[in-house]
């Protein structure tokens, strides 16, 4: 029996999970430690993942994908997170998929036919360019402007934290094309573009980060960058609302990745508590060591149950409850991952600081989903307002 046998949700999509685990076995913790230390994009993992068909899971078969469900993708990302690859591995594959739902839903048939098969095959690496230096949580404050010069759009402005830009081919950019009227919503007048990251007018500078370093996150400067009319996605002026459409599935993906991360930390710490002898006995014999691990298990168990409830709501019912459930799942899973990696750090004692034990890398990574792609305070705001009926606070 392993700890995994005590997570009932792992019986879902069992064959798929097994296949992902088999692929991930080739890329062990030492591999991810090296990629992270060298700040090297994991090309071989990414290629393997794409060639195995996992990357295109959610893209319909007619566009070269696997035609799978959200449940499939969530299971895949959870297993990648649990493999020891953590968020380095998850972000590698999650990033190019971020724009696929938007293209699928709002793109033209020509755009879908041109881009989705390439994304599914791993031949077009797309990134997500929303955040700016002065517009993080409040996306509608973006300063990036797109101007129609009569032949095409010209984009000027700066994106920050653009994950994968160094490796990327194209970026899904959110830019303002008009100002909303005084009584209109601030989300109006924002448009989505698929812009070329290789253009001469684009400068990319990686941000030195404290973790998840196999995938660079970058400042990206656009100076009058040309984007063809045919590379606008959806309706001009409606981009912010188009993007909102894909947020629930993204929350579920992040939730799954963090459950995976937490499972890895719990298993590693439990094993270490059996191996490590202090005062002549295993440290795992102490209740002070056992209880935080038991609590991690319970936190992950409860969070995973909410996640898969949300997945079913999304896939089967597609119902009105999905907003609250997807937010709840993202909050509970990411918080469970933070507490599980933190408890694991204590179990590893001084060795938690040795790279050799890998827990420190996962501990740092576990902090990231608390703030990105949406911070957990905004989720509490959502629950306070939409579930509890309290006044909007921002």
Ligand X SMILES: Cc1cc2nc3c(=O)[nH]c(=O)nc-3n(C[C@H](O)[C@H](O)[C@H](O)COP(=O)(O)OP(=O)(O)OC[C@H]3O[C@@H](n4cnc5c(N)ncnc54)[C@H](O)[C@@H]3O)c2cc1C
**Chain positions contacting ligand X, by CB under 6 A:** 127-131, 136-137, 161-163, 212, 217, 368, 371-373, 375, 377, 381, 394
CA distance 36 to 261: 16
**Shortest distance, CB of residue 377 to ligand X, whole angstroms?**
3
User: Is 65 in contact with 118 (CB distance < 8 Å)?
Assistant: no
CA distance 126 to 44: 18
Nearest residue to ligand X, using CB?
Answer: 136
**Shortest distance, CB of residue 145 to ligand X, whole angstroms?**
17
User: Is 58 in contact with 100 (CB distance < 8 Å)?
Assistant: yes
With respect to ligand X, which residue has the nearer C-beta, 130 or 347?
130
What token pair was written down for 261? 């991360």
With respect to ligand X, which residue has the nearer C-beta, 284 or 369?
369
With respect to ligand X, which residue has the nearer C-beta, 16 or 172?
172
Length of the chain: 394
**Shortest distance, CB of residue 73 to ligand X, whole angstroms?**
18
Closest C-alpha among 255, 276, 254, 258 to residue 340: 258
**Shortest distance, CB of residue 364 to ligand X, whole angstroms?**
10
Closest C-alpha among 359, 329, 356 to residue 267: 359
Question: Facing residues of 191 across strands?
Answer: 175
With respect to ligand X, which residue has the nearer C-beta, 167 or 212?
212
**Shortest distance, CB of residue 3 to ligand X, whole angstroms?**
28
**Shortest distance, CB of residue 245 to ligand X, whole angstroms?**
16
Question: Facing residues of 176 across strands?
Answer: 145, 190
CA distance 346 to 123: 42
CB atoms within 10 A of CB 376: 17
User: Is 53 in contact with 20 (CB distance < 8 Å)?
Assistant: no
With respect to ligand X, which residue has the nearer C-beta, 87 or 269?
87
CB atoms within 10 A of CB 64: 17
CA distance 325 to 312: 10
With respect to ligand X, which residue has the nearer C-beta, 263 or 370?
370
**Shortest distance, CB of residue 142 to ligand X, whole angstroms?**
10
With respect to ligand X, which residue has the nearer C-beta, 128 or 272?
128
């Amino acid at each position: 029996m392993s700890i995994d046998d005590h997570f009932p949700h792992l019986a879902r999509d069992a064959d798929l999970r097994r296949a992902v685990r088999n692929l991930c076995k080739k890329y062990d913790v030492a591999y991810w430690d090296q990629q992270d230390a060298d700040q090297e994009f994991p090309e071989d993992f990414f290629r393997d993942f794409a060639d195995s068909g996992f990357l295109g899971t959610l893209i319909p078969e007619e566009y070269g994908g696997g035609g799978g469900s959200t449940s499939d993708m969530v299971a895949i990302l959870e297993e990648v997170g649990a493999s020891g690859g953590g968020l380095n591995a998850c972000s590698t594959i999650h990033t190019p998929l971020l724009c696929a739902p938007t293209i699928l839903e709002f793109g033209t048939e020509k755009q879908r036919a041109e881009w989705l098969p390439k994304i599914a095959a791993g031949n077009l690496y797309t990134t997500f360019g929303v955040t700016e230096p002065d517009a993080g949580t409040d996306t509608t404050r973006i300063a990036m402007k797109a101007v129609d010069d009569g032949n095409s759009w010209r984009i000027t402005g700066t994106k920050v934290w653009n994950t994968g830009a160094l490796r990327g081919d194209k970026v899904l950019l959110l830019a303002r094309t008009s100002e909303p009227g005084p009584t209109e919503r601030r989300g109006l007048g924002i448009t989505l573009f698929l812009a070329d990251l290789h253009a001469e007018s684009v400068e990319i500078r990686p941000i030195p980060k404290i973790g998840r370093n196999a995938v660079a996150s970058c400042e990206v400067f656009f100076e009058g960058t040309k984007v063809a009319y045919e590379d606008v996605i959806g309706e001009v002026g409606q981009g912010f609302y188009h993007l909102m459409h894909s947020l629930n599935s993204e929350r579920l993906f992040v939730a799954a990745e963090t459950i995976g991360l937490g499972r890895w930390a719990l298993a590693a710490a439990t094993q270490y508590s059996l191996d490590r002898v202090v005062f002549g006995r295993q440290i795992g014999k102490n209740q002070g060591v056992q209880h935080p691990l038991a609590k991690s298990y319970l936190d992950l168990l409860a969070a995973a149950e909410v996640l898969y409830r949300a997945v079913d709501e999304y896939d089967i019912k597609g119902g009105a409850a999905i907003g609250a459930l997807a937010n709840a799942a993202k909050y509970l899973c990411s918080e469970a991952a933070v507490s599980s990696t933190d408890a694991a750090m204590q179990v590893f004692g001084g060795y938690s600081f040795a790279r050799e034990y890998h827990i420190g890398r996962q501990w740092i990574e576990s902090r990231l989903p608390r703030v990105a792609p949406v911070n957990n305070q905004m989720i509490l705001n959502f629950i306070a307002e939409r579930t509890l009926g309290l006044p909007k606070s921002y």
